[in-house]
């Protein structure tokens, strides 16, 4: 029998804090906890603003004012600008929700958006003589097809060879981006000597509705359509099952490969629509700055909203207000507009942290002594 020199020293005290899994919170409490996370995020952002020498309350007031209150001449101008920021972000976030629901990590919304923009631009540049409505519908379809095909590539490789979709979609972003550069100085060059693509004909531009290009109507319609597709269609059900367990999906007789391909096409197509709307509604041309980074920001939005289309719309609103308002913040308080990035980061951080508290709670040594 091996003799023990039992040192109960390290086993004599209980750890001060332990983390235990809590019972599943009801929806109401979980919502409350998330709301608290949002308030705390604003408070933490406030400390940051304070450190930069400004009054956080004043700064937040300016942000909200800047996003909603326009100039005397055009009182709606600020809201319109906010909406313009929101439209592509909303559409891309919705597009990502399809892929994420299937646990397909599509980091390639930027590329899919660009591919959609390129396809749409082709018709805007080369077939601008078509009837206005027909041209716009064609550009819309082309945008969806371009984004969809760009999304299909990583899906094809995934189901055929089991490639990692995260890296694959990410890399495709750069291929799409630099393809614009090629077009700028190559086949689609506008003016000799300048690496840029010509402005679209008036015929290829989205009409204004309520002072903003028609894209906002498309975006709102997509919110409802995405919700219906994900929650009330057979396809949506398949996506959920595949996302939870491919083995279960196959067991249930689902064609997993087809579902992955189909869903990634849709995900990319929705992002492609965002690209079409940007070129046709805002830029009136195709340039390398077309995405404005919404392809990445959309990932944050989709996750914060837990893939619920209506919540995605809400989060997009908050982010767009922050972004529009921060521009004003810069001119009024001299705080760099990069402040939005910081705030968004803080909000994301607090929301992710809050998920931990939804699932776990802490038990302190003292408390236990009392209860036992």
Partner 1 sequence: MADEIFAIELKGITKTFGSVVANDNIHLTVKHGEILALLGENGSGKTTLMNMLSGIYHPDGGSITVRGNEVFINSPKDAFALGIGMIHQHFKLVDVLSASENIVMGTRAQKRQGKAALSAEITEISRKFGLQIDPGKKIYNMSVSEKQTVEILKVLYRGADILILDEPTAVLTPQETEKLFSILRRMKAEGCAVIIITHKLNEVLAISDRVTILRKGKSVGTVATVETDAKKLTELMVGRPVELLIDRPDTSKAPSLLEVVHLTVKNEEGYDALRDVAFDLAGGEILGVAGVAGSGQKELCEAIAGLAKIEKGAILFNKESIAGKTPAEIIKSGISMSFIPEDRLGMGLVASMDITHNMLLKSYKTGKPFILDRKPARALAEHLVKRLAINTPDIGTPVRQLSGGNVQKVLLGREIESNPSLLITAYPVRGLDINSSYTIYDLLNEQKRKGVGILFIGEDLDVLLELCDRIMVLCHGEVTGIVEAKKATKEQIGLMMAGERQRGEVGNSA
Can you give the three-state secondary structure of 100-154, one letter per residue?
HHCCCCCCCHHHHHHHHHHHHHHHHHHCCCCCHHHHHHHHHHHHHHHHHHHHHHH
Task: Give the β-pairing of 208-209 and 360-364.
Answer: unpaired
Q: Which one of the spans 159-167, 207-215, 245-253, 258-266 is the region binding partner 1 (CB under 8 A)? A: 245-253
Q: Which of residues 208 and 255 has its CB atom nearest to partner 1 in the complex? A: 255
Q: Provide, rounded to whole angstroms, the least separation between the CB of residue 222 and partner 1.
A: 18
The site for partner 1, by CB under 8 A, has a size of 41
Least Å distance between CB 143 and partner 1? 24
Q: How far apart are CA 178 and CA 118, in angstroms?
A: 12
Distance of CA 234 to the CA centre of its chain: 25
Among 174, 237, 349, 364, binds partner 1 (CB under 8 A): 237
Q: Is 366 in the site for partner 1 (CB under 8 A)?
A: no
| Contact flag: residue 133 with partner 1 (CB under 8 A) | no
Among 206, 241, 290, 328, binds partner 1 (CB under 8 A): 241
The dihedrals phi and psi of 107, each to the nearest 5 degrees, come to -100, 10
Nearer to partner 1, 5 or 71 (CB): 5
Indicate whether 10 belongs to the interface with partner 1 (CB under 8 A): yes
In the shown chain, the binding pattern of residues 86 to 115 toward partner 1, with x for contact by CB under 8 A and - for none, equals ------------------------------
Name all contacts of 66-70 with Cβ < 8 Å and 24+ positions apart: 66/324, 66/325, 66/326, 66/327, 66/328, 66/329, 66/332, 67/320, 67/321, 67/322, 67/324, 67/325, 67/328, 68/321
Site string for partner 1, 207-236 (x = CB under 8 A): -------------------------xxxxx
Measured distance CA(316)–CA(87) in Å, rounded = 9
Task: Draw the binding track, 250-289, toward partner 1 (x: CB under 8 A; -: no contact).
Answer: xxxxxx----------------------------------
Residue 245 engages partner 1 in binding (rule: CB under 8 A): yes
Q: How many CB atoms are located within 10 Å of the residue 329 CB?
A: 24
State the CB neighbour count (10 A cutoff) for residue 41. Answer: 21
What is the nearest approach in angstroms of partner 1 to the Cβ of residue 335? 43
* Stretch 22-61: interaction string toward partner 1, x if CB under 8 A: xxx-------------------------------------
Among 8, 27, 71, 191, binds partner 1 (CB under 8 A): 8
> How buried is residue 95: exposed, middle or buried, by Cβ count under 10 Å (0-12/13-18/19+)?
buried
Least distance between partner 1 and beta carbon 234 (Å): 5
For partner 1, which is the closer residue by CB, 147 or 236? 236
**Contact 60/38 with Cβ under 8 angstroms?**
no
Classify residue 163 by its DSSP letter.
Answer: -
166 binds partner 1 (CB under 8 A): no
Evaluate whether 244 touches 73 at the Cβ level (below 8 Å). no
- Cβ-in-10-Å burial (0-12, 13-18, 19+) of 275 comes to buried
Q: Does 16 bind partner 1 (CB under 8 A)?
A: no
- DSSP β-ladder status, 208-209 and 17-21: unpaired
Q: State yes or no: residue 244 binds partner 1 (CB under 8 A).
A: yes
Confirm if 170 and 162 have CB atoms less than 8 A apart: no
Smallest distance from partner 1 to CB 94, Å: 19
Which residue, 189 or 306, is less far from partner 1 as judged by CB? 306
Contacting partner 1 (CB under 8 A), which of 74, 77, 164, 248? 248
Q: Which residues bind partner 1 (CB under 8 A)?
A: 1-2, 4, 6-8, 10-15, 18, 20-24, 232-238, 240-241, 244-245, 247-248, 250-255, 363, 368, 371-372
């Amino acid at each position: 029998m091996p003799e023990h020199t039992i040192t109960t020293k390290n086993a004599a005290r209980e750890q001060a804090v332990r983390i235990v899994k809590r019972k599943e919170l009801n929806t109401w409490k979980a919502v409350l906890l998330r709301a608290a996370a949002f308030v705390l995020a604003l408070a933490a952002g406030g400390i940051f603003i304070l450190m930069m020498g400004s009054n956080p309350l004043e700064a937040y007031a300016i942000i909200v004012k800047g996003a909603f209150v326009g100039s005397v001449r055009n009182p709606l101008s600020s809201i319109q600008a906010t909406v313009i920021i929101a439209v592509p972000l909303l559409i891309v976030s919705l597009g990502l929700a399809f892929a994420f629901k299937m646990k397909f990590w599509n980091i390639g919304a930027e590329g899919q958006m660009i591919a959609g923009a390129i396809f749409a631009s082709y018709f805007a540049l080369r077939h601008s003589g078509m009837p206005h409505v027909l041209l716009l519908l064609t550009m819309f379809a082309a945008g969806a097809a371009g984004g969809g095909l760009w999304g299909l590539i990583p899906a094809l490789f995934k189901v055929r060879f089991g490639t990692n979709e995260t890296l694959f979609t990410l890399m495709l972003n750069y291929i799409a981006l630099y393809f614009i550069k090629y077009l700028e100085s190559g086949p689609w060059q506008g003016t000799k000597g300048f690496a840029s693509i010509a402005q679209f004909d008036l015929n290829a531009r989205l009409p204004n509705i309520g002072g903003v290009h028609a894209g906002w109507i498309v975006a709102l319609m997509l919110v409802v359509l995405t919700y219906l597709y994900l929650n009330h269609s057979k396809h949506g059900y398949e996506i959920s099952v595949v996302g939870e367990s491919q083995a279960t999906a196959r067991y249930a007789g689902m064609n997993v490969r087809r579902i992955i391909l189909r869903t990634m096409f849709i995900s990319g197509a929705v992002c492609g629509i965002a690209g079409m709307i940007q070129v046709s509604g805002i830029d009136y041309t195709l340039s390398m700055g077309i995405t404005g980074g919404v392809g990445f920001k959309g990932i944050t939005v989709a996750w914060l909203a837990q893939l619920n289309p209506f919540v995605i719309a809400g989060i997009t609103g908050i982010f767009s207000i922050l972004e529009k308002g921060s521009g004003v913040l810069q001119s009024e308080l001299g705080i760099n507009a990069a402040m939005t990035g910081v705030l968004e980061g803080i909000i994301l951080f607090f929301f992710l942290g809050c998920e931990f508290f939804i699932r776990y709670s802490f038990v302190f040594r003292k408390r236990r002594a009392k209860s036992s």
